[in-house]
Amino acid sequence: MSSQLNLSRRNFIKQCVIGGVTIYSAPMLFNSVQAEEKSNIEKFRSNWNKDKKPRFRFDAIEKVTGQKIYGRDYRAVDIPTWPNEQHYALMIRSSIANRVYLGFDISFLPAEIQPYKVITAEDLKNHKLTELIEDFGGNMLLEKGNTPDYLGHEIAVLLFDTFAAFNKAKGRIQFNSNVVQYGEETELVAKSKDPYASWRIVREEGQLGQNDRYSTLQDGLFFPNYVAHKPVWPSAENSIEDNGKRGMFYAEKLHSDVETRKDWFVLDRTYQTQSIEPMTFEAEAYNGWYDKATQSMHIVISSQAPQDFYYKAGKTIAKSPLASDIKNVIVHTPYIGGGFGAKDHTQFPYYGILASLFAKAPVYLANDRFEQFQSGLKRHPFVMANKLAFDKNTKKIAGLVSDMEVDGGGRINFSGSVTMVGASAIQGIYYIPRNDITAVCYPSQTPHAGSMRGYGTLQSMSAMEMMFNEAAAELDVDPIELRKINALKPGLKNTQGALPNGDMRYLEMLEMAAKHPKWVNRHSAKAEFEAKHPGKLYGVGFGMVSKDYGTGAAAPSSSVEITPEGKIIVKTCSVEMGTGIDTSQGSLVSQYLGSAADEIEMAVTEEFDAMELFATDNPYLISQERQDQMLKDPRWTPAVSMASAASMSSFYQTQTTENAARILLEKTLFPAAVEIWKNTYFNGQFATPDFNDVSKARWSNDGLTINGYPPISLELLAKKAHADGMITGVMTHAFNRWAWASAEFELEGEIKRYPLDAIAIKRGIGARNVKTNRFGYQVIERKSVDYPKTALNNAMVTYYAPCATLAEIAVEKASGKVEVLSTHTWLEPGKVLVKELVEGQIEGGLTMGVGHALYEYLPLDESGAGNGTWNLNRYQVPLANHNGVWNMNYTILPPLSESDPAKGIGEVVMIPIVPALVEAIYQATNTRFYHTPVTPKDIVEAI
């Protein structure tokens, strides 16, 4: 079988070459039976775009008929060129982190179910593989004589040649406390490590119309030294030369005012959030085959960031002795069942690679739910000591001091940026004239924490909203009125000193909420409800936040093509994981092409090499000089690709898809139509139209039309475009660092500036003498490019989507159980691409927020998820009887105009319900809580 592998075949596309290792990406292929089944739904599915709006999700038919193939579903037999034999891997992990590991013993297993290979730290040493996950902190497998770095530290990988042997052995090992032996008790390893990250965001506004006296955007970030694993910040001094000392000068000035100003009201509270399991329904899985004959590693991953994996896997292999054995890495990126950040940049597939290196056949490694709880990424717990000061007279915020400690778990992962984003988000919807926000992330014994939905903002913004609700009571102001007084207005800066993009519409949303009957009548309703239900208490709470979206280095790619038959093919780099990005991206082209896409391909990376782009530096750390030097190369970009996370799809991916479709309209379909109209009707019965203005062209049900000229169908225009060799495929790349890069390109003789940094085109079959690259594309040389200044990295975030939620609850006095009676959410998503998808995000996000506020909890000590005994029997994810399922209401604000961008809303929708519920509990019980989740036990004890 292996000898039949031909790496030049078209479906293996070279991604990059790293240190002599070539990384290929390959589309997933099914076995013949599945391929046949797939073809059986094609015709049925083709109805999805027959209306102006999608009738259903693009992949709905596969999902509802059980024919959707997820990453976890692939076995060796399904993948062409792989041997049919499938082996299985089992991991042994440590369930404690406070004793010396001495070894493990599986000799009790009967001979017929013994693994044929046991991979341990000794193997890593012997094969010089110790750096296999260096990017994740190293120490891939725990060595004998060492203390585990964290609960769940990986000890060994066991390989079995049949499922039955694997299954039986697993049943005897998994919860057997005699398997792993430990010695003396030791201190936690995490206590001997420096923090993963420390951030400090200081700002003091200048006089009206003047620059800030100090801000991170204007003056830059500064960092502490570490002494005894604690941060030591610069001494305070109003120094012109040293921004750190000057930042501390303004920080301490604020501290002093918070302590001494008599005209300020200061709310001083500490808030604590919990460790949360993302519970992405498809647990992580891997299948891989190391084909020694062709020195090729074939990999199937379940990742929402495949591009990250390509480069990291390549780098990892290239810098290890494996580079002499492995020349090719071929990565298959299938659809995944849910992400929520849990499948973004995880170490899991690297253990699969390790298994593949020693396996005699393709090997399958898949977490069960216990294992996913034990080893999967978690949401970071925050402890926040906040002091929020208000001017007693104006009720305006005077200043904020926040000191955040973040639990980063056992490996660093994205802890640095989660901490930063959490810190920069605490401002919520408010204008804060002076702030000192410190956030330090510490290693711990808990499982790794990563980029789970919210990315730190859920924690910090919920705390801010809880403070606002309490401050309103203390200041004797209506909570929504206090928000209106303090809501960020256009022209005001965020805590970093940057101006948010766009009109935030906070006041409009607050006014809508203030008029909601549940809010207006909340006091009388409480009296009535409690009179009618003597065993229950009633409360209504409110919260409103504004969530940033994006990463500050977004790099989407898309392509839009029309076939000679008029079929539309859309391809994007994003991974579909349930949010519906395939549906939204496939639909949005209808504005320009008259119809939604017929074919949509997601997680495409291979073809985007057609733009021949390369990156050289970390886009967050690159200097302005370096950027200015590099941008002279028209193939250079700050970042080539991006992960599918951080609410990236609506806003960022749309940029490249929409522009590709727009170019097709402007440069192909409209000119083709004009030519037909001129040839057929000019000087005829119609008035002379303004053929120069494509913006006046419209798609009717019958085709493209302008100024009353008869519609021309896409099929006819596509046929003409292909016959005449016009542009029939447009591939686009963009870069965003809180502003879009733009560049001039010459297309069909016209030089124009586009909000893109790379374009490649494909011409119709009638084109002659067109030189294309190996992908069949012609790269359009950019004439000039403007990239956002590197100083914008200090802005941290500038794109926001606001969301407010009102929650009506009842609390059962005897049990403390909270019943969500109804909710109403207001969301400002900008332009809505597909209404049902936005609704789905609201409904699902709110429910996940209910889980955070009331149910989900993992201990941070040795009894936590890392001990391997957690599952859904004691981790309560919210069910339909927890979220007020029949009474979940919302108002989706219409865009200000059709030119509004579609905002990233996948995360913001889950946040305001958290403070709304905590406040509603206070309104019901007269007890304030400063932690999540608020459990029935907490409530019973309080009342």
Residues interacting with another protein, by CB under 8 A?
31, 33, 36-37, 40-41, 43-44, 55-57, 59-61, 63-70, 72-73, 75, 77-78, 163-164, 167-168, 171, 279-283, 336-338, 340, 368-370, 577-580, 836-837, 839-840, 842-848, 871-873, 877, 879-881, 883, 885-886, 888
Contacts of 410 (CB under 8 A, 6+ apart): 97, 149, 150, 151, 152, 153, 190, 443, 444, 445, 446, 447, 448, 866
Count the Cβ atoms, other than its own, within 10 Å of residue 524. Answer: 9
**Beta strands in 717-756, from DSSP E residues, in sequence order:** 727-733, 742-747, 750-754
Strands (E), 396-535: 397-407, 434-442
The smaller minimum CB distance to another protein, of residues 745 and 875, is found at 875
Distance of CA 222 to the CA centre of its chain: 27
CB-CB contact of 415 with 373 (8 Å): no
CB-based contacts of 320: which residues, under 8 Å, 6+ apart? 128, 129, 131, 132
Q: How far is the CB of 368 from another protein (least distance, A)?
A: 5
Q: How far is the CB of 39 from another protein (least distance, A)?
A: 8
Minimum distance of another protein from residue 843's CB (angstroms)? 3
Q: Output the smallest distance, CB 876 to another protein, in A.
A: 10
Q: Is the peptide bond before 829 cis (omega within 30 degrees of 0)?
A: no
Which is closer to another protein, CB of 455 or CB of 740? 455
Q: How far is the CB of 444 from another protein (least distance, A)?
A: 25
Beta pairing, strands 99-104 & 698-700: unpaired
- CB-hemisphere CA count at 13 Å for 371? 18
Task: Name which of 294 and 574 has its Cβ closer to another protein.
Answer: 574
Nearer to another protein by Cβ, of 113 and 121: the residue is: 113
Rank residues 93 and 737 by Cβ distance to another protein and give the closer one. 93
Nearer to another protein, 40 or 235 (CB): 40
Contact (Cβ atoms closer than 8 angstroms) between residue 919 and residue 541:
yes
Q: Which is nearer to another protein, 46 or 211 (CB)?
A: 46
Least distance to another protein, CB of residue 171, Å: 6
Among 556, 554, 585, which residue's Cα sits nearest to residue 569? 585
- Shortest distance in whole angstroms from residue 76 CB to another protein: 11
Please identify, using beta-carbon distances, which residue of 373 and 519 lies nearer to another protein: 373
Question: How near is the Cβ of 850 to another protein at its closest, in Å?
Answer: 9
Which of 581-607 are b and which e, b meaning 16 or more Cβ less than 10 Å from the residue's Cβ? bbbbbbbbbbbbbbbbbbebbbbbbbb
Strand, helix or coil for residue 510: helix
Pick 64 or 527: Cβ nearer another protein: 64
Q: What's the closest the beta carbon of residue 609 comes to another protein, in angstroms?
A: 29
- For residue 441, the cross-strand partners are 197, 406
Task: Give me the least distance between CB of 586 and another protein, in Å please.
Answer: 14
Rg (CA), the chain: 29
On the CB side of 627, CA atoms within 13 Å amount to 21
Beta carbon of residue 532, minimum distance to another protein (angstroms, whole number): 20
Choose between 67 and 186: whose C-beta lies nearer to another protein.
67
Dump the DSSP string for 352-370. Answer: HHHHHHH-SS-EEEE--HH
User: What span, in angstroms and rounded, lies between the C-alpha atoms of 132 and 136?
Assistant: 9
Nearer to another protein, 659 or 867 (CB): 867
The token duo for 548 is: 């940033």
Which one-letter amino acid corresponds to residue 125?
K
Which is closer to another protein, CB of 65 or CB of 256? 65
d(CA 864, CA 852): 16
> Which is nearer to another protein, 141 or 575 (by Cβ)?
575
Cβ closer to another protein: 453 or 813? 453
Name the minimum Å distance from CB 868 to another protein.
13
Closest to 441 (Cα-Cα) out of 422, 462, 464, 454: 422
Minimum CB–partner distance for residue 158 and another protein (Å):
17
Q: Do 362 and 123 touch, CB atoms closer than 8 A?
A: no
Distance (Å, whole) CA 539 – CA 809:
6
Q: Categorise residue 85: left if φ over 0, alpha if ψ from -120 to 50, beta otherwise.
A: beta
Those residues whose C-beta lies under 8 Å from the C-beta of residue 558, and which sit 6 or more positions away, are 570, 571, 572, 573, 585, 653, 656, 657, 659, 660, 731, 732
* 493 SS3 class: coil
Q: How far is the CB of 676 from another protein (least distance, A)?
A: 37
Our CB check for another protein shows the closer of 311 and 370 to be 370
SS3 938: helix
The CA-atom distances, in angstroms, between 710 and each of 544, 672, 682, 865 are 49, 14, 12, 65
Least distance in Å: CB of 448 to another protein? 20
